[in-house]
Amino acid sequence: MPRYAFTIEFDGRPYVGWQRQHSDPSVQAALERAIRTITGEEVTVHAAGRTDAGVHALAMRAHADIAMALPAFRMMEALNAKLRPDPVAVIGCALVPEDWHARFSCTERRYIYRIINRRAPLTFERGLIWQVKPPLDEDAMQAAADMLLGRHDFTTFRSAHCQSASPVKTLDRLDVERNGDAISIRAQARSFLHHQVRSMVGCLKMVGEGKWRVEDMKAALDAADRHALGFNAPPDGLYFVGASYPGEQTIAP
């Protein structure tokens, strides 16, 4: 049966997240409904990651096995026609081998968390970026971010509802970059715990405001205790921006 790999962009605001729910709207359900409308088939769309309610994606990777054999471009065009007016778009589609899996073949996942650091209210990007009004020290935030790099027990930065078998993860990148009022925090790892990026960003914000010292970030990590968490950032500014697979060229945003 043909296996289609998708690259998907979506605005997460109307959805409870990626994963299909019984009654609430999800990105997965929107895609599966579009496929059913085109083919009449009940399929499951598997993704590289499960985003939370309100979290966005610029390039989520996913796949589905669909018996109706269409050229990849035609499948993409048909899906986009049926997804309207949902804020979901298939921006890439390819036929892949049967052993290619969006989740289990993935070797790296990348996120960006976007902050706007200003007092003036948001206009165009309300709900698409986190507004922080007090001035943030991005150099202190980077110094604190460096404390989290490498292989650690990230229990402090893990949701109580996380289903991962282990809290131990290896964080390969956590960069804080400022461009005017805009601050971008880029995170990269093979895999992340539920809420890990949002929890790390929330604590970085506390360091940037001067409410935490750089050393407090290390203490929170070493505590391996959710009660040591300073703050969980809202979903508004979080974007899944890329996933890497063997044999594919990685294009980092």
Cα gap 138→184, rounded to integer Å: 10
**pLDDT tens per residue, range 35-84:** 999 999 999 999 999 899 999 999 999 999 999 989 999 999 999 999 99
**pLDDT tens per residue, range 161-174:** 777 889 999 999 99
- Catalytic, 52? Answer yes
Across the range 129-140, mean pLDDT stands at 98
Domain shared by 75 and 200, yes or no: no
Q: What pLDDT does 250 receive?
A: 57
Domain shared by 238 and 115, yes or no: yes
Residue 116 near residue 132 (C-beta atoms within 8 A): yes
Residue in 11, 52, 175, 225 annotated catalytic: 52
112, pLDDT greater than 60: yes
- Phi, psi (degrees; rounded to nearest 5) at 34: -65, -40
The whole-model pTM stands at 0.94
Residue 27 near residue 51 (C-beta atoms within 8 A): yes
In this structure, is residue 251 part of a structural domain?
Answer: no
Residue 146 near residue 187 (C-beta atoms within 8 A): no
Confidence of residue 248 (pLDDT cuts 50, 70, 90): confident
Range of the domain at 43: 3-96
Domain boundary among 54, 75, 96: 96
Where residue 233 falls (left for φ over 0; alpha for ψ -120 to 50; beta otherwise) is: beta
DSSP letter assigned to residue 237: G
Helix 27-39 to helix 72-83 angle, to the nearest 10 degrees?
110
In this structure, is residue 36 part of a structural domain?
Answer: yes
Helix 214-223 to helix 196-209 angle, to the nearest 10 degrees?
150
Percentage of the chain modeled with pLDDT above 90: 90
Confidence of residue 247 (pLDDT cuts 50, 70, 90): confident
In this structure, is residue 103 part of a structural domain?
Answer: no
**Tokens read off for 229:** 């968490």
